[in-house]
Structure 1
């Protein structure tokens, strides 16, 4: 009986010892898992931090590139604005000079010009010095640089007086008025038609040069060069041809 009790006690003791060992082993495993989890978490956090930092660096570089691009666009816009303003001023100065010349031209010049023109069923060319209230009104609008109203007045005059002596010159000035408003397509069509229909008109070389300038402002540089070369070939001694040569060296 004593032996049985001793065996039972020994078995219980061994059982208790085995349970404690298992618990310690389990605790050790849990600690190991926790350490591994913490290590992985630290690694992930570090990786995420580096990725965020890299993302921020990329964003900063992207912003720098965008700012540089915008600065370049602003510089180009300023250059284009200055160039456009210069061209506009040149156009205004040219317009003022031509209109002043018209005002100072006398009847003798008109008579000589009329005598030099061959007889034709088409309207007589370049007789701006002849009087016509509607035509003078249109020219006055040009002098005042009221180009929108000048365009309307010239168009109406040509429509109502297709055979009038000033109809040809009105067509030329209509193209100038369109150019001043940057209506380049309309100006090209009008000045090209003027140069083709009235090649002997004193304004024909200037009409071709105006066509080239409008083509240039539309970005059609190669076509503009071809027009300037055609102008030089057709009217080599004209002042417009001299200006065309100077333009070609800068294009």
Structure 2
């Protein structure tokens, strides 16, 4: 109706038939329409602004959640890195202790090894090949040491050094963090040579590998078995320490 009134007033103005009061009314209506239009435009602009603000708030909340998640992920990664570094340091320290058995020249045997076995090892024609494999292990050339030890065992299964070659093969795989292979080799070593002076260390290495693979229950069982079978050994004492930390 207002549009019709305004149109009629404008028509009267154009035809020269409008009075001053009609002109004033037309102006008032025009001002009212203009005010309404301005109000509506402002309302639309406010709504658009609020919607935009709400969208921005939602985006900020989303970003905050993502940042919080990333911080949590970073903390987990830092913890895992520290744990991995510690285990790696422990591994190399332990490896140094094991390799100390080899120091002093090729073919050196542990003092606890029976004299007859030492003599047989010295007289064996396979001794040079075994010494070469041990030299690679001493040099921390683990990939070539693994190949040399595996070949020695394959070619000389009855040699006096075959048992300890199997043990050192497991150690080399551990150094390469090839834990599944190390577990399999050491497990067979303990089964075949339970009275060998390296058997407690081999069993402990199985537990360490299982722990590093996240197989905590299996690792605990292995450490308990070690303590039961070889209670007076240094390996058993270290197994107790490992259990206390788990």
1:73 matched to 2:89? The reply is no
Deviates more, 1:69-78 or 1:190-199: 69-78
**Aligned-pair CA distance for 1:151:** 1.1
Q: Deviations over 1:98-122 (max 9, x none)?
A: 333334556975444749xxxxxxx
Q: Equivalent residues in 2 for 1:45-124 (5 A)?
A: 45-104=45-104, 110-112=113-115, 114=117
1:173 matched to 2:181? The reply is no
Residues of 1 paired with 2:179 and 2:114: CA distance? 34
1:184 matched to 2:183? The reply is no
> Which residue of the partner structure matches residue 141 of structure 1?
136
Residues of 2 paired with 1:237 and 1:180: CA distance? 26
Residues of 2 paired with 1:39 and 1:108: CA distance? 101
Is residue 204–residue 239 contact of structure 2 (8 Å, CA) maintained in 1? yes
Q: Equivalent residues in 2 for 1:1-251 (5 A)?
A: 39-104=39-104, 110-112=113-115, 114=117, 132-251=127-246
Residues of 1 paired with 2:73 and 2:123: CA distance? 48
Matched position secondary structure for 1:193: helix
Is residue 208–residue 227 contact of structure 1 (8 Å, CA) maintained in 2? yes
> Which residue of the partner structure matches residue 5 of structure 2?
none
Deviates more, 1:167-176 or 1:191-200: 191-200
Unaligned 5+ segments in structure 1 are 1-15, 116-123
Residues of 2 paired with 1:102 and 1:199: CA distance? 21
Residues of 2 paired with 1:51 and 1:129: CA distance? 90
Q: Deviations over 1:17-38 (max 9, x none)?
A: 9xxx9xx89x95x987876665
Is residue 101–residue 109 contact of structure 2 (8 Å, CA) maintained in 1? no
**Aligned-pair CA distance for 1:41:** 4.5
Unaligned 5+ segments in structure 2 are 1-16
